[in-house]
Amino acid sequence: MFLTADELRELTGYIYHSRQIEWLRCHNWKFEVTAQQRPKVARSYFESRLGAPSPRQAVESVSSAVRPNFQAILQVQR
């Protein structure tokens, strides 16, 4: 659901939460801050921001790409 603390460190390059928040704001990332002043980034937002297709888009692209080749089947039967 949310990025882990390690993933946030890797994304921002910072260990301290205050610096992570500063980086996220500077780079226009959507996030929330917890009561402990820790940034929370939704995993789905992270994936969409970095160009990963949503699960729905992935299923649609696979279903449209995978179709039987009926011509090949007909040729084998002849």
Q: Residue-wise pLDDT tens for the chain (78 aa)?
A: 999 999 999 999 999 999 999 999 999 999 999 999 999 999 999 999 988 776 666 566 555 667 777 788 788 766
Q: pTM higher than 0.85, yes or no?
A: no
pLDDT of residue 72: 80
Q: How far is CA 73 from the centre of its chain?
A: 39
| Domain ranges (residues) in the chain | 1-55
29, two tokens: 């990332």
Q: Please spell the DSSP secondary structure of 23-48, one letter per residue.
A: HHHHTT---EE-TTS-EE-BHHHHHH
**DSSP summary character for residue 52:** P
